[in-house]
Amino acid sequence: MVTRRSRPNEPFTRLSAEQAKKMLDSKNGTVIVDVREPDETKTGHVPGAVLMPVNSVFSRTAELPKDKDIIFVCAVGQRSALAAEIAAAMGLTKLFNIEGGTEAWKAAGYPLEK
């Protein structure tokens, strides 16, 4: 169960790194989307993350599943919140954002893929 930590009028749920890890480990088909630029991901990304830089989310929304939970992540959580807002504007509803981004994921001791 995910604790809803959204602020009023946000079309996504804010997650801690721990909550995101539990969702991804549940094997329910949750999709993780890293919205950083390619050069930023060279230091590592959340395992299984699809790279979709935030400036391409609008044009690539059709690549996002409508029937699965989608977790957005960036470096610290700002661009991923914007990506979730864009996805919501395009009609998607099962949207999540990792508070603190990849930095929080790493600080929690979770692995990164290169």
Rounded distance, CA 114 to CA 112, Å?
7
Rounded distance, CA 38 to CA 41, Å?
5
| Paired sense of beta strands 70-73 and 50-51, if any | unpaired
Rounded distance, CA 10 to CA 8, Å?
6
Radius of gyration, CA atoms only, the chain: 13
List residues with catalytic annotation: 74
